[in-house]
């Protein structure tokens, strides 16, 4: 094993979500640094990824040592306003099932939190909930 490729970890997380939401009913997915102009009568999902503090697992230098990389995923679910929470929670269940305590390509997902109601959605005009989870991966230098 070598130093972890952060883009590979990001791709594992994002592609899993994108693949699931391309199944019927199709729901657009927006990732960090992508422009998107939503239609207020439709649903979409925003996925944000942040790498956090890493941890030394063994003593050593830039070789023969192990590290644990940690991060967090925030997934915002936007659905039409004034029709209730049901359709939003159906999307939330699909997403929870993708990540909840799963191990995918060496990325270990912790238990999922949410969907949690967001009281002031951004952008306005949507009903918004949020799913959050932490993840970890290991590297051997």
What predicted TM-score, i.e. pTM, was given to this entire model? 0.87
Give the pLDDT band of residue 57 (cuts 50, 70, 90). low
Confirm whether 1 is domain-assigned. no
Instruction: Give yes or no for a contact between 30 and 39, defined as CB atoms under 8 angstroms apart.
Output: no
In tens, the pLDDT along 10-47 reads: 999 999 999 999 998 999 999 999 998 888 788 999 99
CATH of the domain at 64: 3.30.2000.10
Q: Is the pLDDT of residue 56 over 60?
A: no
Residue 137 exposure: Cα atoms within 13 Å on the Cβ side: 21
Q: What is the residue range of 99's domain?
A: 6-140
| Preceding amide of 25 cis, omega within 30 | yes
Region 35-60: mean pLDDT is 82
Instruction: Give yes or no for a contact between 92 and 17, defined as CB atoms under 8 angstroms apart.
Output: no
Confirm whether 131 is domain-assigned. yes
Q: How many domains does the chain have?
A: 1
Q: Is the pLDDT of residue 111 over 70?
A: yes
């Amino acid at each position: 094993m070598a130093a972890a490729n952060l883009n590979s970890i990001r791709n594992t997380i994002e592609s899993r979500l994108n693949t699931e939401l391309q199944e019927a009913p199709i729901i657009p997915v927006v990732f960090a640094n992508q422009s998107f102009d939503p239609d207020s009568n439709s649903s979409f999902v925003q996925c944000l990824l942040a790498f956090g503090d890493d941890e030394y697992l063994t003593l050593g230098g830039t070789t023969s040592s192990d590290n644990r990389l940690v991060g967090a995923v925030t997934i915002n679910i936007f659905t039409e306003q004034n029709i209730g929470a049901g359709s939003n929670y159906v999307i939330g269940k699909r997403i929870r099932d993708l990540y909840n305590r799963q191990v995918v390509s060496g990325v270990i997902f912790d238990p999922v939190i949410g969907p949690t109601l967001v009281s002031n959605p951004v952008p306005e005009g949507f009903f918004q909930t949020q799913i959050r989870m932490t993840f970890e991966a290991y590297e051997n230098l």
